[in-house]
Amino acid sequence: MRNILLFLILATTASAGEVSGQRAAELENLVKQDCGACHGMTRKGGLGPDIRAKTLKGRDADGLAQIIRDGIPDTAMPPWGPLLADEDINWIAEYLLEESEE
């Protein structure tokens, strides 16, 4: 239930253009809470695979953005395109490549 509310908040505050500092903080929280539900709070993996920066090293941001936008058919990885703007998804892809919890 909490997740659904968070989705609604994020979806309605999504706007075109650059990701602001505040939006970045919201997305950071989304990665921790919502992606973390499957990939682990520290992205080490759980139901979904390890998606820490060191594991994704060498992957390309556009390819990751596409996975995040469209999901992976026939797996638990959901498409985020209906919930997040492209700028948000691109920001998350870069964030996964750059930031690690540890």
From the list 67, 70, 79, 81, which residue makes contact with ligand HEC (rule: CB under 6 A)? 67
User: Is 10 one of the binding residues for ligand HEC (CB under 6 A)?
Assistant: no
Per DSSP, the three-state class of 38 is helix
Q: Which is nearer to ligand HEC, 22 or 75 (CB)?
A: 75
Least Cβ distance, residue 89 to ligand HEC (angstroms): 8
The DSSP result for 41-87, as a single string, is TTSS-SSSPP--HHHHTT--HHHHHHHHHH--TTSS----TTTS-HH
Radius of gyration of the chain (CA): 13
The contact set with ligand HEC (CB under 6 A) reads: 31, 34-35, 37-39, 47-49, 51, 64, 67-68, 72, 75-78, 80, 92
